[in-house]
Amino acid sequence: MTLLALHAVSKSYGALKVTDDITLAVTEGETLGILGPNGAGKTTLFNLISGDVRVDAGRVEYAGRDVTRLKPHQRCHAGIGRSYQVPQPFGNMSVFENLVTAACFGGQQTEREAWRTAHEVLEQTGLMAHANKPAGGLTLLDRKRLELARALSTRPQLLLLDEIAGGLTEPEAAVLVGELKRIKARGVTMIWIEHVVHALLSLADRLFVINFGQKLAEGLPRAVMNDPEVRRVYMGMEA
């Protein structure tokens, strides 16, 4: 069953078409990997899905209903959780409180339930030792981890991950992929933007490649990675 569908969405900044007539569907339980050169419009696509940015044209459907006009928090309640490429923690709150907030509001839980959720996610993401520290004092990578943890705390059905493996060492990335697999096994649908291609390949069921705001390629990972256009434009290898 299709969980998320974008119908011909477009978005421009001034004269620049950042998202150009993109149509895309994600089935429940699937993990979609998004690739594309820097500035192709990947993050913008996330912004359009999460509602942080309004589409200029086109329609966003989620779980069978039109969410194009919904506010970001309404989309979050509907089950879309996101992380930001540039981490956006609630800097003056503790890490634990960051997660409790996400669970209370995004996950629409009571405070006590939220504590449990937060506790669980802290363990899962290895942030337990930082639980009572102000989130603003974390290092870049811990902040990225917090992004993931916070998104998980909203108990999402669809998880949007924007470059969470960047900056991880190889073994660390492997551990991350392991955990994402477990999340996936719980039935969570994911869209993952990542430049660390090998990490992405180890999880994605399908790839979607964007260039200049348009779809360049779509399909099974192996096929897409062998696509000469993708190799040239994205990997920088002559086919």
Partner 1 sequence: MTALLDTRALKAFYGDAQALFGIDFSLDRGELVAIIGANGAGKSTFLKSLTGLVRAPIDAIRFKGEPIGGLPPGDIVRRGLAMVPEGRRLFASLSVEENLLMGATPARKGPWNLQRLYALFPILAEKRNQPGTSLSGGQQQMVALGRALMSNPEVLLCDELSLGLAPIVIREIYAAMPSITAEGMTVVIVEQDVTMARQVSKRIYCFQEGRVSLQGHSADLTREQISQAYFGIAEAAHA
Partner 2 sequence: MTNMPPSIVAVERATAASRAALVAGVAIVLVAASLPFWGESSWMREFVEIACYFIFAMMWNLLAGYGGMVSIGQQAFFGFGGYVMLMLGNFAGVNPFIAIPLGALAAGLVAIPVSFVAFRLSGGYFAIGTWVIAEVFRLSFANVSAVGGGSGTTLTALRGIDKATRESTTYWMALACVVAAVVLVYLFLRSKRGLALLAIRDNEVAAESQGIPVARMKLAVYVVAAFGAGLAGALYFVGNLRISPDAAFSVNWTAFAIFMVVIGGIGRIEGPLVGALIFWALNKFLSDYGTWYLLGLGLLAILVTLFFKQGLWGHAQQRWGWSLFPTQRKLLDISPSGSTFLRERP
- Out of 93, 141, 174, 196, the residue judged to bind ligand ATP by CB under 6 A: 141
- Out of 56, 197, 212, 219, the residue judged to bind partner 1 by CB under 8 A: 197
How far is the C-alpha of 92 from the C-alpha of 41, rounded, in Å? 31
Contact call for residue 187 and partner 1 (CB under 8 A):
no
Closest C-alpha to 215, from 20, 76, 26, 79: 20
Query: Is 73 or 232 the residue whose CB approaches partner 2 more closely?
Result: 73
Query: Is 13 or 220 the residue whose CB approaches partner 1 more closely?
Result: 13
What contacts 116, CB < 8 A, 6 or more positions away? none
- Out of 7, 59, 77, 195, the residue judged to bind partner 1 by CB under 8 A: 195
Contact call for residue 85 and ligand ATP (CB under 6 A):
yes
- Out of 30, 142, 147, 227, the residue judged to bind partner 1 by CB under 8 A: 142
Q: Which residues bind Mg ion (CB under 5 A)?
A: 43, 85
Least spacing, CB of residue 20 vs partner 1, in Å = 15
- Out of 88, 167, 181, 220, the residue judged to bind partner 1 by CB under 8 A: 167
- Out of 140, 175, 235, 239, the residue judged to bind ligand ATP by CB under 6 A: 140
By CB under 6 A, the count of residues binding ligand ATP is 16
Residues 86-105 that bind ligand ATP (CB under 6 A): none
Alpha helices (H) in 34-169, listed in sequence order: 42-50, 72-78, 95-101, 111-125, 140-153
Q: Look at the alpha carbons of 96, 152, 38, 11 in this order and tell me if their dihedral is positive or negative.
A: negative
For 199, phi then psi, to 5°, come to -65, -45
How far is the C-alpha of 229 from the C-alpha of 57, rounded, in Å? 28
Edge to edge, the sheet with strand 189-193 lists 80-82, 158-162, 189-193, 31-35, 206-211, 214-219
Query: Is 167 or 178 the residue whose CB approaches Mg ion more closely?
Result: 167
Contact call for residue 236 and partner 1 (CB under 8 A):
yes
Q: Is 58 helix (H, G, I), strand (E, B) or coil?
A: strand
- Out of 8, 88, 136, 178, the residue judged to bind partner 1 by CB under 8 A: 178
Q: Which helix (H) or strand (E) holds 190?
A: strand 189-193
From the list Mg ion, partner 1, ligand ATP, none, which binds 169 (C-beta under 5 to 8 Å, kind-based)?
partner 1
